[in-house]
Amino acid sequence: MAIANGEAAMLLVDSEAPVAPEHQQPKDQPAQWQPWQHLKARVGDGWDKPADALDTDCHLMVQVMESWFLVDRETLRTFFGQGFRENALPAANRPIEGVAKDDVYRALKQATGDCKTKAEYGKGEHSFKLLVSIDPAKVIAASPWARRFVDELKKKIDV
């Protein structure tokens, strides 16, 4: 467990790109996944794992945080209101961790471009309002990395 100022630390960051299959093996043992390897190998990151850190101290969201919004379409519809075009979003059954970040941003822009009560989706204007509104259970059900994060967080809280 990483220690920062005498306390356990966890890192949660966007993966920014698809996570290589070898960094997510075995599939049924998320505690064995290697997020630090992803962050080291990804062009633009090149992060080294801190000496006292474990792989279970590092967690990857999805390519971008907004991917989580895609699993709670009811909240998106309610939040953006009249003019929201859900059919502009990627298929609901598409795994959110595989949706490229440019596709997520483009879909949100198209889905919200004609909304009457809110402006077109903007990261600064809308992202954190939506993040606190979406249903965590839907995110955990749709994202193995989110489930891993919550499971590890629960373990650390119980310690």
One domain, residues 29 and 41? yes
The number of residues making up the chain comes to 159
Q: Which amino acid is at 69?
A: F
One domain, residues 107 and 125? yes
What tens digit of pLDDT does each residue of 66-103 get?
999 999 999 999 999 999 999 999 999 999 999 999 99
148-98-129-113 Cα dihedral, nearest 10 degrees: -170
Dist. CA 4–CA 8, nearest whole Å: 6
Domain with 53 in it: 2-61+143-158
- Band (159; pLDDT cuts 50, 70, 90): low
One domain, residues 13 and 32? yes
Q: How far is CA 128 from the centre of its chain?
A: 13
Tokens of 159: 């310690």
One domain, residues 87 and 45? no
What's the mean pLDDT when you consider all of the chain?
Answer: 92
One domain, residues 35 and 77? no
Whether the model clears a pTM of 0.95, i.e. scores above it, the answer is no
Pairing of strands 11-13, 58-60: parallel
Find out whether 118 and 55 touch, Cβ atoms under 8 Å.
no
One domain, residues 10 and 70? no
Task: Identify the DSSP state of 91.
Answer: P
One domain, residues 34 and 80? no
- Band (9; pLDDT cuts 50, 70, 90): confident
Task: Identify the DSSP state of 100.
Answer: -
What tens digit of pLDDT does each residue of 43-54 get?
999 999 999 899
One domain, residues 90 and 125? yes
